[in-house]
């Protein structure tokens, strides 16, 4: 049973690859820009693991990536999903685990820049003759990396909605959840909403980072338009608008916490403090 792990440069895919390698499960690590052909990161000598070119928007890369594959860990890319499903069925793939998003559960998801791509991929998979498992994380703890530069430089973090709640989940928990549904047939074929253990405001996350880093971490409240202007070079306008709407709706409204991480991994979800300690170097000058 070979597993194709897409998004090979992402933290979740790398964590999943390491778990598969530790247990000697054959896998193929796929990326739009693979580092090099040959052994995949985390693979021990002699293990059946390799890196392969697979661009989820380029159907010509699908056949070689899917050859001999029975299960897939898939990142959501709507542009090529119909061709990917067609090739997966042709190749004999039996099970696809999609890293989707809890945003698909929100009202107006089909029109949201945050959710539309994930929803389109979910619908394409669910309409196909494939067993599909949906992993729907809420907020990635790693989103806090966007604060690394001001924290390293000693500048305040600029927040339009410091009182907005989210449910930050550690990427290691997502990797373990993906491993569980890929390797335990009793867990597949369902949808799971994955969250961290607590609902936290952005201001509370910064306080936790301050405690972990053992130095002050300041923030200032800015207008939504000022924040949008400050990120215009790397966050497209529709996406920025969707983020602002999502954050605005979360002010004073704690995020709903699920127990799916513990259900799938056998341990409580890692805390944001755990994530901050694991990534403290990212915030150090």
Number of H helices, E strands in the chain: 11, 11
Q: Which fold is adopted by the domain 2-137? A: Rossmann fold (3.40.50)
Q: Tell me what pLDDT residue 46 has.
A: 41
Q: Tell me what pLDDT residue 113 has.
A: 87
Is 139-170+196-255+270-285 the same fold as 2-137?
yes
Given the structure tokens 């991994």, which residue do they identify?
265
pTM of structure: 0.93
Per residue of the chain (285 residues), give pLDDT as tens. 799 999 999 999 999 999 999 999 999 999 987 654 444 444 444 444 689 999 999 999 999 999 999 999 999 889 999 999 999 999 999 999 999 999 999 888 999 888 999 999 999 999 999 999 999 999 999 999 999 999 999 999 999 999 999 999 999 999 999 999 999 999 999 999 999 999 999 999 999 999 999 999 999 999 999 999 999 999 999 999 999 999 999 999 999 999 999 999 999 999 999 999 999 999 987
C-alpha distances out from residue 90 to 10, 37, 70, Å:
27, 24, 11
> What is the C-alpha separation between 107 and 91, in angstroms, rounded?
36
3-state secondary structure of 166: strand
CATH number of 139-170+196-255+270-285: 3.40.50.720
Burial group, residue 70, by CB count within 10 angstroms (0-12, 13-18, 19+)? middle
> What is the C-alpha separation between 143 and 152, in angstroms, rounded?
16
Q: Tell me what pLDDT residue 107 has.
A: 87
Report domain extents, the chain.
2-137, 139-170+196-255+270-285
User: What are phi and psi for residue 235, nearest 5 degrees?
Assistant: -125, 110
């Amino acid at each position: 049973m070979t597993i194709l792990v897409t998004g090979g440069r992402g933290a979740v895919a790398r964590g999943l690859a390491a778990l598969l390698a530790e247990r000697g499960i054959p896998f193929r690590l796929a990326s739009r820009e693979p580092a090099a052909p040959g052994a995949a990161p985390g693979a021990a000598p002699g293990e059946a693991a390799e890196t392969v070119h697979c661009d989820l928007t380029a159907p010509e890369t699908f056949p070689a990536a899917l050859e001999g594959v029975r299960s897939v860990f898939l990142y959501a890319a709507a542009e090529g999903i119909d061709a990917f499903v067609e090739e997966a069925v042709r190749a004999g793939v039996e099970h696809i685990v999609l890293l989707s998003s809890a945003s698909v559960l929100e009202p107006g998801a089909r029109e949201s820049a945050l959710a539309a791509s994930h929803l389109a991929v979910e619908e394409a998979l669910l309409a196909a003759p494939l067993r599909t498992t949906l992993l729907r994380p809420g907020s990635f703890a790693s989103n806090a990396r966007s604060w690394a530069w001001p924290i390293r430089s000693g500048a305040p973090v600029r927040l339009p909605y410091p009182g907005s709640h989210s449910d930050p989940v550690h990427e290691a928990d997502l990797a373990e959840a993906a491993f569980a549904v890929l390797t335990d047939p009793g867990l597949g074929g369902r949808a799971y909403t994955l969250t961290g253990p607590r609902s936290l405001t952005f201001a509370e996350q910064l306080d936790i980072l301050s405690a972990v880093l053992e130095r002050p971490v300041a923030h200032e409240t800015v207008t939504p338009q000022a924040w949008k202007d400050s990120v215009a070079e790397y966050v497209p306008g529709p996406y920025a608008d969707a983020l602002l709407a999502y954050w605005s709706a979360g002010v004073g409204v704690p995020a709903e916490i699920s127990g799916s991480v513990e259900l799938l991994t056998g341990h409580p979800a890692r805390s944001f403090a755990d994530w901050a300690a694991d990534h403290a170097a990212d915030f150090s000058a």
